[in-house]
Amino acid sequence: MSLVPAARLQDVTKRIGNRTIIDRVSLEVYPGEVFGFLGPNGSGKTTTIRMMVGLMSLTSGDIAIGGHSVKTHYAEAAAQVGAIVENPEMYKYLTGYENLVHYARMNPSVTRERIDEVIKLVGLEGRIHDKVKKYSLGMRQRLGVAQAVMHRPKLLILDEPTNGLDPAGIRELRDYLRQLAREEGTSVFVSSHLLSEMELMCDRVAILQKGQIIDIRSIRGAETQTSLEQIALFEVDHPQNALGVLEGRGDGRIEDGLLAISATRDQIAETNRRLVEAGIRVYGIRAKTKSLEDQFLEVTGGETIG
């Protein structure tokens, strides 16, 4: 793995008039990582993405793609990026194939064989010579993915990629993105307001609100950290008695007939032993993990429009 981040945003700021749309956003996307960019509508996700791909200028700060600044070395930076910005808008009067040829001509590394390969990859073989105006939204999404990955970019940027996809399509896209990240070392930068999607897809997420990053956190690996306290729920025959047994651990409480305590993994095992020794019957133990949605609402305070 190279040491150069696939994308590095440094104090990226965008002002339009005297309104600050994006306020000192800094983050790094590592090689082979699926990075989620999460935020309510209007928080500035699309604006940030537009600056990353050179559609909008930066008021201050810098964005480097694979070490090349989009401000000073745009062509080198853009050569490493594949993207779908919002909806994949294609030339409707051209066929799917002609659309791909159009983008392939702009990138010297793409051969005819590669075009055929990506068509198979996204499963459009049967309809590729139809005009795009006859495509469903899902098919256009697939064509959008095809043009984005055609030149084997080091960084794939997708803005709300699951819009308009059916559940099977979403699942397919998710698997494909993870496969790209794992097998080809492609970094994926994906924006969404669908929290559950991000949880399944991403290694890390940044949460954006009102143009500012309010949190960047890892999603995978958090649950295996042994030192981390989590809430454990014990299903026992007499919750009140059980609470008595645990006297001395002040944070135990009863939630919906279950005994809930905050504990590390080791402490959960220890608690279980004490309950069993005290003659309490334990039917089940489960960790109460906070979903990303809970966390998201917690950090954004449930506010929606930034």
- Phi first, then psi, for residue 138 (nearest 5°) are -60, -40
Q: Which of residues 32-51 bind other proteins (CB under 8 A)?
A: 47, 50
Is 298 near other proteins (CB under 8 A)? Answer: no
Q: Which CB sits closer to other proteins, 214 or 306?
A: 306
129 touches other proteins (CB under 8 A): no
Shortest distance, CB of residue 126 to other proteins, whole angstroms?
21
CB of 145 to other proteins, least distance (A): 12
- Residue 232 CB, nearest distance to other proteins (Å)? 48
Q: Which parts of 148-177 interact with other proteins (CB under 8 A)?
A: none
Nearer to other proteins, 15 or 193 (CB): 15
Number of residues forming the site for other proteins (CB under 8 A)? 34
User: Contact between 74 and other proteins (CB under 8 A)?
Assistant: yes
Subset of residues 87 to 116 that bind other proteins, contact rule: CB under 8 A: 87-94, 98, 101-103, 105-108
The beta-carbon contacts of 192-197 under 8 Å, at least 24 apart in sequence, are 192/36, 192/37, 192/38, 192/160, 192/161, 192/162, 193/38, 193/39, 193/40, 193/41, 193/45, 193/160, 194/162, 195/38, 195/291, 195/292, 195/293, 195/296, 196/291, 196/292, 196/293, 197/162, 197/170
Which window, 55-63, 160-168, 196-204, 241-249, contacts other proteins (CB under 8 A)?
55-63
Of positions 28, 62, 76, 172, contacts other proteins by CB under 8 A: 76
User: What's the closest the beta carbon of residue 152 comes to other proteins, in angstroms?
Assistant: 13
Rounded least distance, CB 84 to other proteins, Å: 8
Question: Which residues are near other proteins by CB under 8 A?
Answer: 47, 50, 53-57, 74-76, 78-79, 81, 83-94, 98, 101-103, 105-108, 147
